[in-house]
């Protein structure tokens, strides 16, 4: 049973479209994250939610909107997709926001914007 | 501004030998360091960590060394096995979300 699962695994879409990526964790963790791995392979934090509350927003364009209906789910909506949004997006969770940084990652969503 | 740097994009090691992966950081406020391992088409998985109050942490074949004065840490894998072939990410934090390096691809050759 997957601890952190995100869907879809692959997403190919046209510029200007709106898309969503879903994430769920069954670990009972309080904190969830979205990370982006760009073409240069850096893994960068985008958002962090603690028990459904946004605690970190790392200067991500407001075309990206996370939504956390409950602490087990953190979805990512992206409006008006641009070529530069092509990347791998990883969802992750941790027990709390201060647990030494031990994150559990999903398997990633490869987004390709054409 | 790369606060966590892994200057070697790749490393090849013979099976049974030691693998040494290096990581440098610039932020002296970092107080906790982690190594993650990533296989293709999977997310990173936690491997080992070390607090800034220690200089060594060992877990089986994996040992992490921290040199705070040099702002340098390294991951030693002994003996290396083919299943260790993966991308290894160094990460650090200081009351912030994890900051990751770009990763080093380790290939263990049988």
Please list every residue in chain B whose beta carbon sits closer than 8 Å to the beta carbon of residue A98.
Answer: 95
How near does any CA of chain B get to the CA of A85, in Å? 18
B13 dihedral zone (left: phi>0; alpha: psi -120 to 50; beta): beta
Percent of chain B with pLDDT over 90: 91
Closest residue on chain A to B105 (Cα): A41
H-only helix segments in chain A: none
Q: What is the mean pLDDT of residues A68-84?
A: 95
pLDDT of residue B35: 97
- Mean pLDDT (chain A, rounded): 91
The token duo for B3 is: 């606060």
Backbone angles phi, psi at B80, to 5 degrees: -75, 145
Minimal Cβ distance to B97: which of A40, A45, A108: A45
pLDDT of residue B55: 96
Minimal Cβ distance to A105: which of B44, B49, B51: B44
Q: What is the mean pLDDT of residues A24-53?
A: 90
Q: With an 8 Å Cβ cutoff, are A100 and B44 in contact? A: no
Handedness of CA B40, A12, A60, A78 (dihedral sign): negative
Q: With an 8 Å Cβ cutoff, are B98 and A45 in contact? A: yes
Dmax (CA) of chain A: 39
Asked whether the predicted pLDDT for residue A101 surpasses 90, the reply is no
Q: What is the mean pLDDT of residues A91-108?
A: 84
Minimal Cβ distance to B43: which of A45, A90, A102: A90
How near does any CA of chain A get to the CA of B7, in Å? 13
DSSP strands (E only) in chain B: 4-5, 10-14, 19-25, 32-38, 45-51, 56-59, 62-67, 72-77, 86-93, 99-100, 104-109
Which residues 59-88 in chain B show a CB within 8 A of chain A?
none
DSSP state of A67: E
């Amino acid at each position: 049973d997957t601890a952190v699962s995100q869907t879809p695994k692959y997403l190919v879409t046209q510029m200007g479209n709106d898309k969503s990526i879903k994430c769920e964790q069954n670990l009972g963790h309080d904190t969830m994250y979205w990370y982006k791995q760009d073409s240069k392979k850096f893994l960068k934090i985008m958002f962090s939610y603690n028990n459904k509350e946004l605690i970190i927003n790392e200067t991500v364009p407001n075309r990206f909107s996370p939504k956390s209906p409950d602490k087990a789910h953190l979805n990512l909506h992206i409006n008006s997709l641009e070529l530069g949004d092509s990347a791998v997006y990883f969802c992750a969770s941790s027990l709390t926001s201060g647990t030494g940084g031990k994150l559990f990652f999903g398997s990633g969503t490869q987004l390709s914007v054409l | 501004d790369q606060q966590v740097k892994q200057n070697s994009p790749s490393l090849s090691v013979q099976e049974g030998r030691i693998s040494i992966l290096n990581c440098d950081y610039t932020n002296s406020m970092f107080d906790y360091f982690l190594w993650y391992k990533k296989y293709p088409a999977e997310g990173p998985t936690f491997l080992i960590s070390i607090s800034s109050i220690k200089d060594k942490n060992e877990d089986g074949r994996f040992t992490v060394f921290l040199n705070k004065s040099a702002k340098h840490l390294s991951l030693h894998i002994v003996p290396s096995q083919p299943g260790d072939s993966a991308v290894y990410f160094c990460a650090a934090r200081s009351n912030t979300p994890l900051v990751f390096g770009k990763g080093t691809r380790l290939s263990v050759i049988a």
